[in-house]
Chain A
């Protein structure tokens, strides 16, 4: 795996890496990927569509909501930045005015 590959993964994963971290992962990932590639010998052909197990996620009926405001303040209190009942984030779409 090349240095640029690690950097591309970090970009996709929204993590800023230091040069030392990038270098270290570059060294480790080839060994880990080689190890896990052993599965290819076990399931060589795609003979069946991947199945989920007996237990899988099923959405429940959208009923019995939590009473309004029961947890609102507790949850908002955890936000690093807020304005009243809103979470505060930086502007998503840049404009010419900055």
Chain B
């Protein structure tokens, strides 16, 4: 396994390497794998190397250095960095240069991190495989015939191939956790409002959150603590005191909704069952819980999310920024620009969202889905009075082959365990749990742990214990 952030920092502070040498190692890994994997949309190798050299000038400060000093990182293509392209892997934003830094970008750079590149993704984060990128699909570095998961597949691949120890992703329905599971990484979807969305290209505004993909839980915790917290530029970020404290404990009561595990692949279930045994051996208690509404979550998600997509995508009109295709009048400009600029999945979700919000269908679809969401929040709140954590597999399957999921509905089913955390706003952590064999290749699978709102520290505590970090 490649070095973690904490490994790199310790190595440099011990004097065993310089930040420039570390950056060069990561660039070498990038150059070796990128032609096959296509994790990135843009890389800034010379700039990053120069920044690492500058970072070396401060090494004498030792532990006083900011926590990510000299660390190479990658940002998903929907996270803004001033002066760099933010394309969201869409033709409509192919030449869009970010005029400002996202809050998460600013916080990472203020902590000393050096951005080595911007990663590929499903267009506007709409997808579970990275095949919906308008540029090229990203491949899974562990098996190039398979997808890395999506939509933060480029970020996951960038970490898994050793080009950076951490990459930021965004998660609207599982887009950090699914790639983490498929690429053998740790991935965190924070509590809604935990991390600022200022400077993120919006998909589903009541669902989106940015979070880290890393090799270790400790690294995920480190990066999350840097990017989290109140931001005056995102009024949905919460203050200390908004939520009750979610305390760490010696051992946890872990709820497993066994009734939802019926449809998952047999060996994925075996890995999950082994994880349960391991947690029991560590002293935790496993409780069989019933969360019937979680099953309806995916249906509610595929109403709420397209509704928000149809609204958020309305800004791409070819007038203020992005692609412009000339038509015969202003209306035709809009229609032609959007026809050429958006890919199939984006169009599909805009139209579905338009449908579920249209007069006559609004209450039957969107109104009902929002009520289901309320009921789910209540169900989770009730469940968390009985257990400390809810645990499921992250996905019902390991990484699938490129082109395997042709029809949209079968692709949507990959999100069955992950969407509940977005709909209810609770934090969720995917941790590598083991592997299953497909065509002679060992493919990682993850387990997902969810905690009450603002319960990230509990998830880190459980995850660090589970991994023996």
Contact = CB atoms under 8 A, between A and B. Distances in A.
Interface string A11-26: 0111111100100110
A85 interface: no
A89 interface: yes
Interface in B329-356: 329-336, 338-339, 342, 344, 347-348, 350-352, 354-356
Given A10-B351, A53-B377, A60-B232, A42 B344 contact: no
Interface string B210-222: 0000000000000
A25 B333 CA distance: 23
Interface string A62-89: 0000000001001101111100000101
B375 A90 contact: no
Instruction: Name the prevailing secondary structure of the B interface residues.
Output: helix
Contact of B323 (A33, A59, A71, A80): A80
Interface in B414-431: 425
Interface stretch (B33-41, B124-132, B292-300): B292-300
Contact of B235 (A31, A59, A79): A59
Contacts of B192: 53, 55
B338 A16 contact: yes
B103 interface: no
A52 to B, nearest CB: 8
B309 to A, nearest CB: 10
Instruction: Name the prevailing secondary structure of the A interface residues.
Output: loop
Given A9-B354, A21-B347, A29-B355, A40 B364 contact: yes
Contacts, number: 157
Interface in A30-70: 31-33, 35-40, 42-43, 46-48, 50-51, 53-60
A80 B318 contact: yes
Contacts of A56: 236
A13 B339 CA distance: 10
A36 B302 contact: yes
B99 A32 contact: no
Contacts of A74: 99-100
A77 to B, nearest CB: 8
Given A32-B409, A80-B318, A16 B336 contact: yes
Q: Lowest 6 CB-CB distances: which A-B pairs, in order?
A: A80-B324, A78-B321, A16-B339, A55-B193, A74-B99, A16-B335
Interface of B: 96-97, 99-100, 192-193, 206, 232, 235-236, 238, 242-243, 293, 296, 299-300, 302-303, 310, 314, 317-324, 329-336, 338-339, 342, 344, 347-348, 350-352, 354-356, 358, 363-365, 367-372, 374-375, 377, 407-409, 412, 425, 453
Given A28-B408, A36-B369, A78-B321, 14 more contacts: A16-B339, A18-B339, A21-B344, A25-B347, A31-B409, A32-B409, A39-B296, A39-B369, A43-B371, A53-B206, A54-B425, A75-B99, A75-B321, A78-B322
